Amino acid sequence: MGRKPKDGFISACRSRQIARVKLEKALGYELPNNICVHHINGNPFDNDISNLKPLTNSEHSKLHLKEWWDQLYLESPNNLLIELEEAIQDLNNSYN
């Protein structure tokens, strides 16, 4: 028998299953395997039907990749510049 997963992992998996079942019930049909359930507000434990949206796996990946990109590069460009300047300064200091 393998190791028992951490409770958070079990809870997250159950929450995803609950979300899928709730959305399928609301839609009146079973979702195909290439469709996943997106939590609109980003909280995977909020399984209110108004927070659930069916997306293809590809659409879901693209959505989260865009969110990550926007957060990292568009919402905080100054932080990246500061990190770059610090890295350059560290390099300069290592040669002195």
Q: Tell me: the pLDDT tens digits for 34-90?
A: 999 999 998 888 999 999 999 999 999 888 888 777 777 665 656 666 777 777 787
68 occurs within a structural domain: yes
Q: Does the residue 1 lie in any domain?
A: no
DSSP symbol at 59: H
Instruction: Find residue 56's DSSP bridge partners.
Output: 35
Provide the token pair at 1. Answer: 């028998």
Which residues form the domain of 16?
7-95
Is residue 2 a part of any domain in this protein? no
- The pLDDT value recorded for residue 2 is 42
Is 48 inside a domain boundary?
Answer: yes
Q: Is residue 74 part of a domain?
A: yes
φ, ψ at 47 (rounded to 5°) = -100, 25
Dihedral of alpha carbons 53, 58, 61, 62, sign: negative
CB 37 within 8 A of CB 51: no
- Residue 1 pLDDT > 50: no
Question: Is 75 inside a domain boundary?
Answer: yes
Indicate the number of domains in the chain.
1
In a domain, 25, yes or no: yes
- Cα 10-16-22 angle, rounded to 5 deg: 130
